[in-house]
Structure 1
Amino acid sequence: MKYIDPHIHMVSRTTDDYQRMAQSGCVAITEPAFWAGFDRSSAQGFYDYFQQLTAYEPKRAAQFGIQHFTWLCINPKEADDPGFAREVVSLIPEFLDKGNVLGIGEIGLNKNTKNELIILEEQIALAAEHNQLVLVHTPHLEDKLKGTRLIMDALSASGIEPGRILIDHVEEHTVGEVLDRGFWAGMTLYPDTKVTPQRAADIIEMYGNERIWMNSAGDWGCSDPLAVPKARLEMQRRGHSAATIDKVTFANPQTFLSQSPQFAIRD
């Protein structure tokens, strides 16, 4: 059994988590740029963070045979100050040729504000300019459906092929529209919020297994870095075939991520 966790924030996890993930079959992860647990006070803080994601964290993962890939951005939680956000965005091109960088993400909306939308559009433009994949964060506490629709409209206006965009944190009321518009959909598995492994299995049974994946996110709140293998067990308990389980936890992430020339799973 092997799987990819395509959205997990390992800078918030201990080294023991890498060990447990490897023992559970994880062969690769992708880590989108996100909030540090506090608001950073300068663009230099992001510069150091991008260094951590592209230089240090891959070495920590490699100790356990896990390949580490990343995405770069200023996340929507810190994007409501356009001046500050633009300072951070200006740093990103310097890192795009690092060997483990897959694209721009996780960009999106947090509270669905005008400033967040402006910075979202500018980062979408950056992705288009540099022919990068895009990974999207959809709101949690605010109106998720409204935010998801605003994000999809901005992405559609950019001209980026929908098949090169993953819209994450989908739930039952958003996944259908995301898939219908040609985007990829990510289900984030949390013990209390977002989607549980049981709900994720329900969604696959309702919407199928095309252009959809599961991830653990594993960030600063209550989360579980072993959520993906637990979802595999839930699907197995329900009688799903090994091929279907492997498709949503390994083959689908591999297919989407392999659109980046930086992504390849070692034998």
Structure 2
Amino acid sequence: MKYIEPHGHMVSRTTDDYEKLALSGCEALCEPAFWAGYDRSSAEGFFDYFRQLTEYEPKRAAKFGIKHFCWLCINPKEADDPGFAREVMAIIPEFLKKPTVLGIGEIGLNKNTRNELKIFEEHVQLALDHDLPILIHTPHLEDKLKGTRLILDSLASFSKLDRSRVVIDHVEEHTAPLVLDQGYWAGMTLYPESKCTPNRAIDMLEIYGDESLWLNSACDWGVSDPQAVPKCAIEMKRRHHSPEQVEKILFENPKKFLSQCKNFAL
């Protein structure tokens, strides 16, 4: 079995995790910019972080035959200070020239504040200015529905936005139809403690179909599993999904979306 991990935060994982991914059949991994586990104190910290994503992680992944790509932004958890956020965003264009950068992400909302929304919209405009795809984070738990609606309303104001080049991640049962019905891609994140269990994700696939949907593990600082995607494939087989259906959701779908990124190639 081969698959693509379209959303994995490998800066929070060990080298052993890369080995596990390779043994599971991972051919490419895409790492969005995100929170470091603490709020960074300066824009220079993000400069070094962007170097890590664009220079070091591709080399670490390559040792196990995995292609590593990344997305760049200031994440929603640190975007509530507009002045600081704009300092970080001013750095991003320099890194967009790197050969493994896919686009802008994961941008979005954390606490659904006005400042977060403003910085989100400035990120969207940055992506449009550079003709780049977008990866969006939706809030967790009880704020997810409100945050998703705020995001969708905001995106609707961008008349030149190609919705097929936007993926809205961490969808659940109550937000997936909102995202898909408006022509965006949707990502389902497999977490042992929150977001989606494999069976919940498969239920959504069976309800909403397998077009414009992908699975990811996120595998970040919290309790998470970098092998969640191939483990979900096993559950799909148990539920009598064909090998072709499994390959479509694990490999062909993320490949289709990511191929819209000029730097993505397998």
TM-score under structure 2 normalisation? 0.99
Q: Which residue of the partner structure matches residue 14 of structure 2?
A: 14
Measure how far apart 1:55 and its partner are.
0.3
Measure how far apart 1:97 and its partner are.
1.3
Alignment partners' CA distance in 2, 1:84 and 1:116:
12
Q: Which residue of the partner structure matches residue 228 of structure 1?
A: 229
Measure how far apart 1:31 and its partner are.
0.1
1:44-75 CA distance string (max 9 Å, x none): 00000000000000000000000000000000
Which has the higher mean CA deviation after the structures are superposed, 8-17 or 137-146? 137-146
Unmatched tracts of structure 1, length 5 or more: none
Letter in 2 for 1:57: E
Q: Which residue of the partner structure matches residue 114 of structure 2?
A: 114
1:220-246 CA distance string (max 9 Å, x none): 000000000000000000000111111
Is the CA contact 1:34–1:74 (under 8 Å) kept in the aligned structure 2? yes
Measure how far apart 1:194 and its partner are.
0.2
1:198 aligned to 2:199? yes
Is the CA contact 1:137–1:168 (under 8 Å) kept in the aligned structure 2? yes
Alignment partners' CA distance in 2, 1:142 and 1:157:
25
1:241 aligned to 2:242? yes
Is the CA contact 1:156–1:162 (under 8 Å) kept in the aligned structure 2? no
Which has the higher mean CA deviation after the structures are superposed, 157-166 or 39-48? 157-166
Measure how far apart 1:141 and its partner are.
3.8
Alignment partners' CA distance in 1, 2:228 and 2:155:
29
Q: Which residue of the partner structure matches residue 100 of structure 1?
A: 100
Alignment partners' CA distance in 1, 2:141 and 2:118:
20
Measure how far apart 1:156 and its partner are.
2.0
Task: Tell me the C-alpha RMSD between the 2 structures.
Answer: 0.6
Q: Which residue of the partner structure matches residue 128 of structure 1?
A: 128
The count of residues paired between Structure 1 and Structure 2 equals 265
TM-score under structure 1 normalisation? 0.98
* 1:245-260 equivalent positions in 2, closer than 5 A: 245-260=246-261
Which has the higher mean CA deviation after the structures are superposed, 154-163 or 46-55? 154-163
Letter in 2 for 1:39: D
1:27 aligned to 2:32? no
Measure how far apart 1:152 and its partner are.
1.3
Task: Report the secondary structure of 2:250's partner residue.
Answer: helix
Unmatched tracts of structure 2, length 5 or more: none
Task: Report the secondary structure of 1:107's partner residue.
Answer: strand
Alignment partners' CA distance in 2, 1:225 and 1:212:
19
Task: Report the secondary structure of 1:143's partner residue.
Answer: helix
Letter in 1 for 2:4: I
Alignment partners' CA distance in 2, 1:142 and 1:179:
20
* 1:1-267 equivalent positions in 2, closer than 5 A: 1-158=1-158, 159-265=160-266
1:5-56 CA distance string (max 9 Å, x none): 0000000000000000100000101000000011100000000000000000
Alignment partners' CA distance in 2, 1:162 and 1:198:
28
Is the CA contact 1:53–1:70 (under 8 Å) kept in the aligned structure 2? yes
Alignment partners' CA distance in 1, 2:193 and 2:220:
13
Is the CA contact 1:110–1:142 (under 8 Å) kept in the aligned structure 2? no
Alignment partners' CA distance in 2, 1:207 and 1:247:
15
Alignment partners' CA distance in 2, 1:142 and 1:103:
28
Task: Report the secondary structure of 1:247's partner residue.
Answer: helix
Measure how far apart 1:133 and its partner are.
0.4
Measure how far apart 1:160 and its partner are.
1.0
Measure how far apart 1:78 and its partner are.
0.4
